Structure formats: C-alpha cells, structure tokens
Chain A
Amino acid sequence: MPRKASDFGIRSNRLPEYAVDRDYELCIGCGVCIRQCSFDVHYLDEDHDTVRSRSELCVGCHRCSALCPTRALAIKPNPAQYRAHGSWSGEHVKDINLQAETGGVVLTGSGNDKRAPVYWDNLLINASQVTNPSIDPLREPMELRTHLGARLDAVNIQAGSLDSRLPPTIPISTPIVFSALSYGAVSFQVQLALAQAAQELGTLWNTGEGGFHPRLREYGSNTIVQVASGRFGVDLDYLNSARMVEIKIGQGAKPGIGGHLAGEKVSKDVSATRMIPEGTDAISPAPQHDIYSIEDLRMLVFALKEATNYKVPVSVKIAAVHNAPAIASGMVRAGADVIAIDGFRGGTGAAPKVIRDNVGLPIEFALAAVDQRLRDEGIRNRVSIIAGGGVRNAADVVKAIALGADAVYVGTAALIAIGCTLCQKCYSGKCNWGIATQDPYLAKRVNPDIARRRLVNLVKGWSHEIKEMLGGMGINAIESLRSNRSQLRGIGLTAEELSILGVKPAGG
C-alpha cells in the first residue's frame, strides 16, 4: 500500500493534474465512464440523476474519453496550474507536496518523460543519388533476417566440411524483438498477444523476470526467458523451454536498483508463475548475489549454458551506464552470446521517479560506444547487440542498427500498439486499458487476438519502412547496415557528441 496524505490525517494541497470536461449537452448519463474508470473519477449523483466527476482522481489515461459513446468527455490539463516558474515546474511543486505529506519515495511508471535529448532526432539517414542506385524493396529482394548469437573468430574446414562446433544462433526475420514485460507487471492477455505476435512475425518476445506461464510454453521457440536477481520461476524446465536465456543485470528505467512487485498484484496465477506464495511481495534484490564481478558473471553465464546443454544463446542485459563499454567488453569475455543495452528512456512497470529521470545514459551514446569498443578490441563478432530504451519508430530502428545494434528491443511501442496511453500509473495495478493490471475485470479489456494483430501490424509496418530506408541507401540486407555509420549524419550536435556517436556532421 502506498502512503497517502489521508493516511497521516493530512489534507492534500496538491492541485489536480487534469480537469474532466463533460459536455452536458452531449452526456446521456449512460454511465460508461463510471464503469470504465478504475480510479473512481466518475460517479452518479443520484439526487440529481447526473453523472459527475472528481477531477482530482483523474490520471489522464483517456479511457473514458475514448469510450464515451457521445464524445461528451474531454480530459484536459488542469487550467488551474501552479504559478509558472522557470526553475520550479508544477511537477516539482507537486512532488514536494506529495513527499511532504507522506515521507515516501515518489513512484512512477513507464519511461522517462523529461525533455532529455533524444539523439535519434539529431541523426539523419542517407540515401543514394546517382553514384549508387537505390533499390525498390517492393520489386527486389531485401533481407531483414538477422541472427542473434555469437560467431566464432575462425572456423576449421577439414576435407571440405566444417570441423568447428558453431555456437547456437537464433534467426529473426526482422530486427525488432519485444522487450521484457513480466507477468505481474502486465496481464496474461498482453503476454499471450506478445507471444503469438512474435511467433507470427518470426521474432522473439521476452518473459521478463516474472516466470513463464504454462499456457505460453507452446511459444517457447519464440521466447526469451529472464534470470534476474529474484530468480522467480527459474528452474530447469523454464530454462530449457526457451529459445534464449537472458541474465538481467539492469534496466534502463532504474539502473542499479531492484524491484518490488507488491503483494496485491501477486494473484493466484502470478503466484504460480513466479513460484512464490499468493499475496507476498516479490522482491528482486538490487544485485544478483552470485555476481559481484565479471568472473562471477561468467560463472552464471556458463551455469546457464550447462543447464541448457549449450543449446541456447545466453544474453546479458544491462542498463546503459557511464562505463557501459568496459562492462560490455567484460560481458563478452564472460561468455555472453548476446548483450542487451537498455537506455535511460526505457519503460518500467514501477520505478522511483528520481532514478528513472536521472540515472543512466541515452541508448544512442551507450550503443555507439559499446559497438566501437568491441570493434576496437576485435571481439564484436562474439556477440550480438540488442539496443532498447526509447525506440519509437522505424527510423529509430535504422539509426540504432547503423550505430551498431543487431536488433532492437521495443517495449513501450508494443504497449502503445495494444492501447497504452502513457498515463504512467502502471504501478497502481489499476490500468484502465487492461495492460498493467492483474484485475480480471480490467485485464479482459485487452482482447489478445486484437492485440496480436495490432502488434503484428506495427512490426510489419516498421519492417516495410526499414526496407524502404535500406533501399534508399542502396543496401539490400540489414546486416550491411550494422555499424555502417557512414549512412548517418548529425545535426545540432557538438564535435564531442559526434565523435562518440562516430558520425560526421550534416554536410560533412
């Protein structure tokens, strides 16, 4: 349970964030808004037989507004804002009041919403003109398939046949992978849709650290399972039912800290999947207590390889932090087949806001620096890199691959495709869109079949766009774009930023 001002007998003096604007000429009093809002904003005033609203409870998810049959509702930023101030924003004032009332850590969900620079927007993609023909992907072959996993430094050929044991790799038909969204953080319906979409698209989804639901195991060949500090649901069946095992060291939205899934969300089914008693807190410690060094990481990587008989690649996921390149070098030497780097705009079900908005690095810099470091050390072939944390569209995917990624993780974009409106209340368990909740009444709002189709459509649309951009560059395979930074130019970036990104300035 959170701390609320009323728990302390303190009247909250925070201004409501949103104002519910109900057009009574249009409102027919049908009560859809009352039934749709889990935050109890709307209610029936029986004395006047009128539907009214408590704006102070509104989280701005727009569910009521979207479903109102007569379009009578508009959720607007509260016009009564704190006095404008260049240094103290309304958010600062509101958070200070919240903490003054409660003494707690301000919790938030979803990704960093601050105006932190999005460097994708400072990168422009090249196209061929005259000297190199562009390619029309609608008529000519265009390869988006790539393989995740390690490549040997060299192979032996004996008498015309291969005499080396190749490490396991996973072909994915588009360089877009669904990132970790655990059962507990999201509903079963969401995971089912992700699993089915991954299968249909020939890519992968990621269970996160909340276990692997028995009903989803049929999608094992499109599944990445996570081993995180809580080890929830991790056993030999779990490890051997997946296509890839990922050690989660960190997450872009909350580098360096653990996680607590509140007991309220540990329903019977979540309890069975995580293998912990119903209603208990699921606590993921900040560190993995068997990993205090690169040597220890190697120990866990190979424990997982032994446990799966070397049949699946092992990924290690870290948050993008200041010394990511050196850490990544260690991760490769620790035997990781895939390294996943999550930038500080990555999403989360719950994180302290001060961590989410201030700790870590933008993925663009971490990715470019890691790729360069591994190339300089001659070990880039030994891993695939998956970059995540703020990939919003096909252009971001192309830019990530040109900066050195093999594939990208998308989480927030996938949730938006399912219906998320980024209200950032994922931690409350009351998601009106049925995504970040275990309440059966809310969760059934996501129809897995429709959600699957929307996910497939999104990834197909992006894949077409990636092909168009590749064709424009005169490139016919995604692997030819990887770390091909000559296809990028920077605008509005300093010389140092350009140097870290490894791209020339626009016009240069």
Chain B
Amino acid sequence: MCTTGLFAEIDALGLSYSELNQRVRIAVESGARRLVLRNVAGQRYIGTNLYGCADRQGLSGLLLEIHGTPGNDLGAFLDGPTIVVYGNAMDGTGNTMTSGRIVIHGRAGDITGLSARGGEIFVRDSVGYRTGVHMKQYQGNRPVIVIGGTSQDFLGEYMAGGIIILLGLHLKANEPHACNRLCSGMHGGAVFVRGTLRHGSLGHGVSVQPLNADDRQLVAVYVSRYAELFGADADSIMNASFTKLVPATGRPYKQLYAY
C-alpha cells in the first residue's frame, strides 16, 4: 500500500476480501480520499466497511477507483463514497445502498441496486437479472440506476421507489430489449425505457405511459451524466422514443385479504 496524503494505491493481488477491505479502511482512516485499487479479482464488499472511519463530508468526498473485476456486493450499504470500476461488476452492486455513486465501465451482474434507498448507479453496458429489485425511496433520497445497454428479466421487480433508465444503446434499430417480466410486483417509482420492449414482456400491474415534459427533463439530466461519464453523445441518446413504466396501483394487494 502506498499512501501519500489524500492519495493511496493498493495492489489487491492475492488479497482476500477482508484483507483488501481492511487496507481500504485503514487508508481512509489515515486521510486518503482517492484510492486506486489495482488487480482486483473478485474481492467482495468493496466500500462496505467504511462506517465511521471518516466524517460524513470525508466519506462523501471519497473516491475508490477499481481496476479489474470487483466481486459480489460491491458497495453494499454504501453511504457517501463514489466507486468507479474500470471493468465489469458482478452481482449485488449497490445492494441496499443509501447514498453515493457507483460507476461501472462495463457490465453489472444480477440484482444490481437491490433495495437501494438512494445514490446513483451508472452501468455503461448491460445488467443481469432482477436489477433494481425492491428499490425504494424516502423523502429526499431517490435511487437512480442508469443502464447503457439492456437488462435480463425482472428489471424493477417489486420496485417501491426510485428511477431506472434503460437506454439500449447497443440495440439495433427495432431490436427490442432482452428482458421479460419487467416491473413485476412494482408498487412505486418509475422505469424509463429507450427503444422498444418485446410484446408481453411486462409484469402484471404495470402501467405504460408516455413521458411528460418533467419526465423528459429528469431523464435528460441522468442521460447527460451518463454521456459525461462514458463519453457518449447525450443529444443523440435523447433523440429517440422513450416509454415510462409506472405501477398501476401503489396498493397491489389491498384486495387480497378477507377478515
């Protein structure tokens, strides 16, 4: 480990996840605010163990740059820091995240953003199954997931809040998104889809709507961030048709019980 003032570099080669995460924690405790982790190969929970090792301002200003492939639960319970991955991420990225930002220069696996309550996740390429499952929002905290590519099934399942933007940038003209059972059990939040969905690919209880002016403005904000992060052209991304998926009801089970 090399620490000079605000900058630290850690070679993750051969380290277990607990060893790596402990080194990250020690570096942050000793004042590092930009950490570069090299040769990361499957170590889990990067960024999860930083509770209390700096004040809120310090954690919010913390940048973890990961080179290689981080393991499952990258940034689980993340509250403040920014994580940038130069490579792909595995499953559970941003699991139950509170705040901060995760940027993946590649693909992310299953359950990306599971139960997230805030923060932003930007994935340059596609995501796996059940992305954004049971995301929720509360007061000023609204999680956002922006996906450059497409998604596997059950995107936005059980979604209770937050926003998912699915861009489908690599899809050919008129090629639909790959996912089925979108937003199954959704009871809050919104999913914005650029391009087309396969016929019958929506879960039950989802309402399909056109974007209004506020929606377009909201999507444009995150598309421009995506474009800035990954070097894309925001205007040409926005110059396409979008669909908005919202819950048909916020109370899907209110007619289920008898007593």
Contacts and interface: CB of A to CB of B under 8 A. Distances in A.
A1 B76 CA distance: 36
Interface stretch (B33-41, B45-53, B235-243): B45-53
Nearest to B117: A275
Interface residues of B, number: 48
B14 interface: no
A231 B258 contact: no
Contact of A104 (B92, B160, B257): B257
Contact of B258 (A105, A235, A240): A105
Given A235-B77, A285-B158, A306-B48, A104 B256 contact: yes
Contact of B187 (A271, A283, A290, A302): A283
Contacts of B48: 303, 306-307
Contacts of A148: none
A260 B255 CA distance: 12
B134 A303 contact: no
Contacts of A352: 257
A290 B44 CA distance: 14
B137 A299 contact: no
A234 interface: yes
Nearest to B256: A105
B254 A1 contact: yes
A251 B258 CA distance: 21
A427 B259 CA distance: 9
Nearest to A424: B259
A303 B95 contact: yes
Interface in B52-76: 52, 72-73, 76
Contacts of A290: 73, 91-92, 95, 111, 114
B21 interface: yes
Interface string A273-297: 0011100110101000110000000
A276 B161 contact: yes
A236 B114 CA distance: 15
B251 interface: yes
A236 B77 contact: yes
B44 A105 contact: no
Given A263-B250, A289-B130, A107 B158 contact: no
Contacts of B76: 303, 306-307
Interface string A409-431: 00000000000000001011000
Interface string A357-390: 0000000000000000000000000000000000
B219 interface: no
A275 B136 contact: yes
A260 B253 contact: yes
B133 interface: yes
Given A99-B258, A107-B258, A299-B44, A281 B187 contact: yes
A208 to B, nearest CB: 17
Contacts of B125: none
Interface in A34-92: none
B120 interface: no
B160 A231 contact: no
B182 to A, nearest CB: 15
A315 interface: no
Nearest to A310: B18
Given A3-B258, A277-B161, A306 B98 contact: no
A234 B77 CA distance: 8
B36 to A, nearest CB: 20
B153 interface: no
Nearest to B73: A303
Nearest to B135: A231
Contacts of A492: none
A299 B73 contact: yes
Nearest to B50: A236
A108 B48 CA distance: 39
A415 to B, nearest CB: 19
Q: Counting chain A CB atoms within 10 Å of each CB, which of B49, B95, B185, B259 scores highest?
A: B259
A280 B187 contact: yes
B126 interface: no
B106 interface: no
A346 B78 CA distance: 35
A299 to B, nearest CB: 6
Contacts of A308: 51
Contacts of A276: 136, 138, 160-161
Contacts of A2: 257-259
In the complex, which of the residues B72, B92, B136, B187 has the most CB atoms of chain A within 10 Å of its own CB atom?
Answer: B136
28 contacts: A2-B257, A3-B255, A3-B258, A104-B258, A104-B259, A106-B257, A106-B259, A108-B259, A230-B115, A235-B117, A240-B51, A277-B188, A281-B187, A281-B254, A283-B134, A283-B185, A283-B187, A283-B252, A289-B111, A289-B133, A290-B73, A299-B72, A299-B73, A303-B48, A303-B73, A307-B77, A427-B257, A427-B259
What 10 A-B pairs are tightest by C-beta distance, nearest first? A104-B258, A231-B115, A102-B258, A275-B138, A236-B51, A107-B257, A306-B45, A306-B49, A306-B48, A235-B98
Interface of B: 17-18, 21, 25, 44-45, 48-49, 51-52, 72-73, 76-77, 79, 91-92, 95-96, 98, 111, 114-115, 117, 130, 133-134, 136-138, 141, 157-158, 160-161, 185, 187-188, 250-259
Given A104-B256, A277-B188, 11 more contacts: A1-B254, A2-B258, A2-B259, A275-B117, A276-B138, A289-B111, A289-B114, A290-B73, A302-B45, A307-B51, A307-B76
Interface of A: 1-4, 98-99, 101-108, 229-231, 234-237, 239-240, 260, 262-263, 271, 275-277, 280-281, 283, 285, 289-290, 299, 302-303, 306-309, 352, 425, 427-428
